[in-house]
């Protein structure tokens, strides 16, 4: 009974206030709280996601110390401690342990810690990671002479430097800062650059010219037949050209061989912790650093140089190492091309719908259809792009303009152009809707003023309506761009590949190669995350690439937002 007892006076006042106050629901308090709560939840989720991606991505390139662990069984493991977790060893395993460990495990509720070490040396051990349980550790040290070696092939090597050979002569190894060592490494890198220049640039050029001549011959053959005089001329031309080019090629190839031989005389012998030795050329050395003997600035140096390689380098070892420059380039090129297509198309469509079309059932129907387009799953656009753009359009282009290259397709397969068009199709509803809104928001009085001054309808649109709608149009384009840069699923069908041999824009005429397939950061994330041999080693790369993709989208968006605010400012003063 005590629960329901309310002193008389208080009960009366409660009734009074209830009578005077409005209902809680109509005051909007709960709505305010739930709206605020939803916003907070959204922000927390986004921040949490960004924190996860950035903390993992930014930490990846920090050089870690190398531990040398001697196990009670005698096995020695050298590696970077990668991560730790606690686990429950089996009863049989616990029974074999010394009594003090048994007691410790028992007091911890049967749980014990273990650490994953990244051992590297895949070519020596056949595996690159190893778990070591705490109770198996007899000794754990961080010797100063351990080096972490990043190689062009086979992933990292962890061990010590045994010997070095420079110009065929054995040299005593002093330290990594030894000028002899540094000079040998720098020379090897320069030589590798030279080889690359010759192979990619000059030999590539020779091949390109030869290929063009061969295609010209094939074209003549298709047009005039094998017996015509023109065909014989073309054949002669090809023959003379190939003789001279072959001579050039041989000279360049000899140069490369010489460089390679010089390279092979400078080697480095490394020893793993178990004594296994590996001899590698200086040219195969990407980076070497004494992981346990690295000061703060040394760490910063390694960290920055890794980022530099990642941003500017080409992928190695089936994309799990090296850089992602081709993917950055491909993503940016594709997104910009998409904007070039989607912006005019979207704006023109919206202009017609809003300004010229007679508002009726048909226009509403078109508008509904456009809105519905935005809800179609993106993979459907991919299928459409492949079926219509690549096979139908591209196939006809090939048949008409590149018959000499058939059966290998030029435009008849996925490529940069088809990807950009597919994504333009995917994002065009966004631009149309945003532009229509922006056009509708231009005050009627301004149009009427313009018309009253004697301007035609088109002049009104061009000089009065469009400039004022521009910030809204930009918003639509920004949204489209953000959506396009992050979209991967349709691209997998229409032109993104794991390994593209060339960039879509280069120094060879016609400079922009719309038919080439390209690499994309989003696909790179999928590929490294789900397809690479070593999932453990691939994971950090996934985070780094994600950070990069987010950064790229942010930069592009920020640029567009700055442009928009400039536009807004320009018209801010001219309004009433």
Partner 1 sequence: MLKKFVSAAAVMGALTTSALALDVDPALKDYKKLSGVEGSMKSVGSDTLNNVMALWAEGFKKEYPSVKIEVEGKGSGTAPPALIGGTAQFGPMSRPMKSGEIDDFEKKYGYKPAALRVAVDALAVFVNKDNPIKCLSIAQIDAMFSKTRKRGGKADIKTWGDLGLTGEWASKPISLYGRNSASGTYGYFKEAAMGDGDFKDSVKEQPGSSAVVQGIASDKYAIGYSGVGYKTADVRIVPLSSKDGGTCFDASADNAYAGDYPITRFIYMYMNAKPGTKVDPLRAEFSKYVLSKQGQMGVIKDGFYPIPSAIASQDLKTIGAE
Provide, rounded to whole angstroms, the least separation between the CB of residue 398 and partner 1. 11
Provide, rounded to whole angstroms, the least separation between the CB of residue 333 and partner 1. 17
258 near partner 1, judged by CB under 8 A: no
Of residues 150-179, those binding partner 1 (CB under 8 A): 153-154
Provide, rounded to whole angstroms, the least separation between the CB of residue 442 and partner 1. 47
96 near partner 1, judged by CB under 8 A: no
Report DSSP letters for 96-129, one per residue: TS-HHHHHHHHHTTT-EEEEEEE---HHHHS-SE
How many Å apart are CA 401 and CA 398, to the nearest integer?
Answer: 5
> Closest Cα partner for 458 from 352, 364, 363, 358?
352
The residue within the footprint of partner 1, chosen from 1, 91, 400, 572 (CB under 8 A), is: 91
How many Å apart are CA 196 and CA 276, to the nearest integer?
Answer: 32
Q: Which of helix, strand or coil describes residue 162?
A: strand
316 near partner 1, judged by CB under 8 A: yes
Helix axis angle, 466-486 relative to 325-351, nearest 10°?
140
Cβ–Cβ < 8 Å for 219, 404: yes
Provide, rounded to whole angstroms, the least separation between the CB of residue 288 and partner 1. 21
How many Å apart are CA 501 and CA 349, to the nearest integer?
Answer: 38
402 near partner 1, judged by CB under 8 A: no
280: left (phi over 0), alpha (psi -120 to 50) or beta: beta
How many Å apart are CA 141 and CA 144, to the nearest integer?
Answer: 9
292 near partner 1, judged by CB under 8 A: no
Cβ neighbours for 337, distance < 8 A, ≥ 6 positions apart:
416, 417, 420, 514
Provide, rounded to whole angstroms, the least separation between the CB of residue 148 and partner 1. 19
The residue within the footprint of partner 1, chosen from 58, 166, 189, 210 (CB under 8 A), is: 210
Query: ω before 510 within 30° of 0 (cis)?
Result: yes
How many Å apart are CA 75 and CA 462, to the nearest integer?
Answer: 79
> Closest Cα partner for 423 from 479, 382, 376, 477?
382
Provide, rounded to whole angstroms, the least separation between the CB of residue 307 and partner 1. 23
240 near partner 1, judged by CB under 8 A: no
Nearer to partner 1, 204 or 467 (CB): 204
> Closest Cα partner for 373 from 321, 430, 327?
430
Cβ neighbours for 67, distance < 8 A, ≥ 6 positions apart:
78, 79, 80, 81, 117, 140, 141, 142
Tokens of 135: 């109770």
206 near partner 1, judged by CB under 8 A: yes
The residue within the footprint of partner 1, chosen from 159, 385, 412, 484 (CB under 8 A), is: 412
Provide, rounded to whole angstroms, the least separation between the CB of residue 38 and partner 1. 30
246 near partner 1, judged by CB under 8 A: yes
Nearer to partner 1, 433 or 528 (CB): 528
The region of 64-72, 249-257, 344-352, 438-446 touching partner 1 under the rule CB under 8 A is 249-257
> Closest Cα partner for 158 from 66, 76, 69?
66
Number of residues in contact with partner 1 under rule CB under 8 A: 59
Nearer to partner 1, 256 or 373 (CB): 256
Of residues 453-512, those binding partner 1 (CB under 8 A): 492, 497-502
The residue within the footprint of partner 1, chosen from 204, 301, 467, 486 (CB under 8 A), is: 204
Of residues 350-389, those binding partner 1 (CB under 8 A): none
> Closest Cα partner for 415 from 510, 302, 490, 494?
494
Provide, rounded to whole angstroms, the least separation between the CB of residue 204 and partner 1. 5
The region of 115-123, 178-186, 228-236, 326-334 touching partner 1 under the rule CB under 8 A is 115-123
Nearer to partner 1, 410 or 427 (CB): 410
Nearer to partner 1, 88 or 265 (CB): 88
Cβ neighbours for 147, distance < 8 A, ≥ 6 positions apart:
158, 159, 160, 161, 176, 270, 288, 289, 290, 291
Provide, rounded to whole angstroms, the least separation between the CB of residue 142 and partner 1. 21
The residue within the footprint of partner 1, chosen from 29, 167, 190, 199 (CB under 8 A), is: 199
73 near partner 1, judged by CB under 8 A: no
Nearer to partner 1, 65 or 110 (CB): 110
The residue within the footprint of partner 1, chosen from 99, 109, 407, 573 (CB under 8 A), is: 407
What per-residue string of b and e applies to 496-508 under the rule 16 or more CB within 10 Å gives b?
bbeebeebbbeee
Interacting residues toward partner 1 by CB under 8 A: 87-88, 90-91, 116, 122-127, 129-131, 153-154, 199-200, 203-204, 206-208, 210-211, 246, 249-250, 253, 316-320, 406-409, 412-413, 492, 497-502, 517, 526-527, 529-536, 538
């Amino acid at each position: 009974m005590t629960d329901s007892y309310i002193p008389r006076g208080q009960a009366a006042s409660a009734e009074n206030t209830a009578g005077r106050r409005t209902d809680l629901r109509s005051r909007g308090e709960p709505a305010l709280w739930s709206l605020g709560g939803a916003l907070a939840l959204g922000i927390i989720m986004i921040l949490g996601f960004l924190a996860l991606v950035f903390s993992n991505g930014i930490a990846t390139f920090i050089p870690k110390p190398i531990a040398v662990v001697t196990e009670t069984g005698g096995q020695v493991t050298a590696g970077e401690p990668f991560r730790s977790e606690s686990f429950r060893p089996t009863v049989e395993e616990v029974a074999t342990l010394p009594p003090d460990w048994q007691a410790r495990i028992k007091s911890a509720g049967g749980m014990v810690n273990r650490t994953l070490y990244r051992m590297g040396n895949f070519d020596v051990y056949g595996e690159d990671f190893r778990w070591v349980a705490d109770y198996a550790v007899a000794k754990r040290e961080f010797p100063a002479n351990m080096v972490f070696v990043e190689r062009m092939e086979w992933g990292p090597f962890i061990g010590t430097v045994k010997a070095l050979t420079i110009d065929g002569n054995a040299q005593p190894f002093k330290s990594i800062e030894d000028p002899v060592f540094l000079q040998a490494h720098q020379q090897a890198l320069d030589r590798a650059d030279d080889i690359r220049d010759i192979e990619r640039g000059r030999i590539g050029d020779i091949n390109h010219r030869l290929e063009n001549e061969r295609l010209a011959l094939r074209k003549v053959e298709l047009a005039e037949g094998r017996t015509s005089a023109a065909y014989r001329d073309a054949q002669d031309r090809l023959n003379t050209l190939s003789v001279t080019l072959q001579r050039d090629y041989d000279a360049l190839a000899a140069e490369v061989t010489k460089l390679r031989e010089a390279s092979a005389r400078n080697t480095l012998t490394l020893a793993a912790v178990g004594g296994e030795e590996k001899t590698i050329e200086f040219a195969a050395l990407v980076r070497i650093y004494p992981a346990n003997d690295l000061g703060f600035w040394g760490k910063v140096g390694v960290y920055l140089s890794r980022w530099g390689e990642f941003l500017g380098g080409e992928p190695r070892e089936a994309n799990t190492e090296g850089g992602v420059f081709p993917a950055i380039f491909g993503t940016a090129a594709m997104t910009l091309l998409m904007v070039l297509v989607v912006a005019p198309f979207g704006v023109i469509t919206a202009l017609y719908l809003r300004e010229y079309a007679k508002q009726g059932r048909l226009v509403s129907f078109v508008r509904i259809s456009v809105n519905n387009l935005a809800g179609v799953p993106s993979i459907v656009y991919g299928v459409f792009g492949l079926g219509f753009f690549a096979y139908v359009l591209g196939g006809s282009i090939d048949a008409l303009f590149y018959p000499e290259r058939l059966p290998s397709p030029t435009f008849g397969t996925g490529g940069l152009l088809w990807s950009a068009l597919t994504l333009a199709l995917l994002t065009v509803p966004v631009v149309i809707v945003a532009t229509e809104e922006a056009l509708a928001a231009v005050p009627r009085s301004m149009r009427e003023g313009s018309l009253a001054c004697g301007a035609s309808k088109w002049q009104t649109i061009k000089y009065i309506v469009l400039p004022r709608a521009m910030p809204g149009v930009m918003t639509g384009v920004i949204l489209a761009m953000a959506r396009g840069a992050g979209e991967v699923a349709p691209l997998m069908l229409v032109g993104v590949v794991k390994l593209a041999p060339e960039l879509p824009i280069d120094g060879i005429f016609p400079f922009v190669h719309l038919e080439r397939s390209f690499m994309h950061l989003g696909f790179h994330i999928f590929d490294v995350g789900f397809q690479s041999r070593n999932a453990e080693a691939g994971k950090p790369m996934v985070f780094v690439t994600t950070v990069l993709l987010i950064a790229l989208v942010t930069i592009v968006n920020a640029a567009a937002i700055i442009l928009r605010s400039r536009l807004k400012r320009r018209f801010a003063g001219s309004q009433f």
